[in-house]
Structures are given as C-alpha cells and as structure tokens.
Amino acid sequence: MKTLALLLFCSVTACSPKRPVESSREISGTQAERVAAVSPLISKLAKLPSPILDAHFVEQQTGDGQLGPSDFAAFYVLIVAPADLAAWRSALPAIEAQNTTPKYVAPKQPHPWWLTHDDFLNLTFYSPKSLAGRSNGWVGIAPDGRIFVYAFTM
C-alpha cells in the first residue's frame, strides 16, 4: 500500500505543471545614476525631447529562456520639467490600433515611485514603441511632469 501511494504521489508531482521562473532587475542608485542608466534604454530609437530630471526602472521576466521564450514587463518613470511636456507629447506616437485600451498595471513588487490606480485615470496615453521599443503597453503622461511607461512582450 505504501509503495502504491508513493508511486501515485511521484506520478502526480511529475505531471503537475511547474510555474515559470520569475525574476526582476531594477535600476537603483542616486538620482544621477538612475538617469544615466535609464536614458540609454529609452533613447535607442529616438532622441529624447528634453532632459530627464529623474528616472526609475524595473523589468520583470517570466520564464528562464531555456525551455522556451521568456515574457518581459518593463515599468519606467521619467520625470521631466512640466514645461517640457508639450515636446514629449508631440514626439510620442498615438497608441497603435492593434494595441488594447490601456489598463492599470503595477509591478509585482510594489515600488513607491509607481503610480496609483487613481493617478492612472488622469493620464494621457501614447504608444511605448519609440521609448521602449515595444508595441504592447502604453506611455502615460501626468500633468506634473511624470511620464509612466509600461511595455511588455507576449
């Protein structure tokens, strides 16, 4: 009986789907160090419309890339002078037709720099493609000079 129970337990655990490996990386440091590290990530495809005063970044990875592709979700906050927001708005493309309506998303690990759901409701939205290189997601501009970027793969 014990052998049968052990055999049944082993077969059930061997067939159970395993959760994909999850990891994340964050850019930290002083304000100047964060700006220096984030700026190249968002200026690969286009020149930045104005200087960045502060920046935050975290990227979450689901999957290890070994037994199939991984999915990535990136969260950026760029802080610019409110007077420069018009330049950012004119430089950012509209959200592409195939992209879904922006929905509130937050990093799995809470970060004090990420917006709340209430703040999300007051953003003006654009495509993340020119900043993050990904079509999926959104760029949301707040009137106070904060620019939120959520971009993901699928």
Residues in the chain: 154
Evaluate whether 120 touches 142 at the Cβ level (below 8 Å). no
* pTM, full prediction: 0.81
- The per-residue pLDDT for 148 is 98
| Alpha-carbon span 73 to 64, nearest angstrom | 14
List average pLDDT for each run of 10 residues in the chain, which is 154 residues long: 49 51 87 96 90 96 74 95 96 81 94 96 93 91 96 88
Amino acid making up residue 125? F
Q: What does each C-alpha distance from 139 to 2, 103, 125 come to in angstroms?
A: 58, 11, 5
Alpha carbon 54 to chain centroid, angstroms: 17
| Alpha-carbon span 75 to 153, nearest angstrom | 12
